[in-house]
Amino acid sequence: MQKERLDLILKTLQEKNTLTLKDIIDLTGTSRDTARRDIVKLTENNLVERNYGSISLPNTFQKLDNYLKRSDDNIDDKQELAKQAAIFTNHASQVYLDVSTTVEFMPRYIINSNLFAITNSLDTADQLIRHAPCKSRILGGNLDPEKRCVTGTMPCLDMEHYNFDYAFISSVGIDESGIYYAYEDDIDYKKKIRQQAKKVVLLLDHSKVNVKHNFKVLNLNQIDYIITNGELPQKLENKLIKSKTQMIYM
């Protein structure tokens, strides 16, 4: 009986990435104590990792797909989202481009030579140099070879010197509760972006809709615009309307 429950939990984790204790109770129809014992069993056998009130498959806490590999996924969709987002920069003075395999296409479509673009992404900085006619700067900090960006406290402190007309971000998931990210150091960093930006624009691949991940970092009402390439579920759309978030469908 326990083996069947454990198999069900592992199978569900492959689809949902993370499960809370309540999720497991609802999934298996067992008591809280039984669900806890199942979690202990899975953890002891190194089949799951425990993360702040939830469990996940090993390494999902740290391991999104390798950044360079992800940058090759859905290129056409990413370019269309980036092209639409770049329109916002036409009459802006200062913008922030977050690390993202979608946002990094934006410099190809920037035409405003009076713009000042700031980023923490190595690849976006490279694209700005190659394609954009504007001034650009990369924030200081420690280099992360996997995420290909600068990290740590330095970029957060550095960002305090700027007031952005727009900040362009992406995420690993969104649902009716908010915007999700994979890494713990995203928590303070994304909140700092929100603090320094007059408007935040989320570039949303339809595959991220109704996806939860390790950390809910932003609320829906903290996003001013969502650019997406697919219809959003009605409940999520209604929540966004109440949050006064403007949606742009591709």
User: Residue ranges per domain, the chain?
Assistant: 2-56, 67-249
Q: Is the pLDDT of residue 61 over 50?
A: no
171 or 71, which is more confident? 171
Q: Which residue shows structure tokens 């969502």?
A: 226
CATH number (2.60.40.740, 3.90.1150.10, 1.20.1530.20, 1.10.10.10) of 2-56 reads: 1.10.10.10
Q: Which helix (H) or strand (E) holds 155?
A: helix 153-159
Q: Is the pLDDT of residue 86 over 70?
A: yes
* Window from 85-89, 161-165, 172-176 with minimum mean pLDDT: 172-176
Q: Is the pLDDT of residue 102 over 90?
A: yes
Q: Name every residue whose Cβ is closer than 8 Å to that of residue 194 and which is 6 or more positions away in sequence.
A: 167, 200, 218, 222
Its CATH class, for the domain covering 67-249, is alpha beta
93 or 207, which is more confident? 93
pLDDT tens readout for residues 3-21 = 889 989 988 887 787 899 8
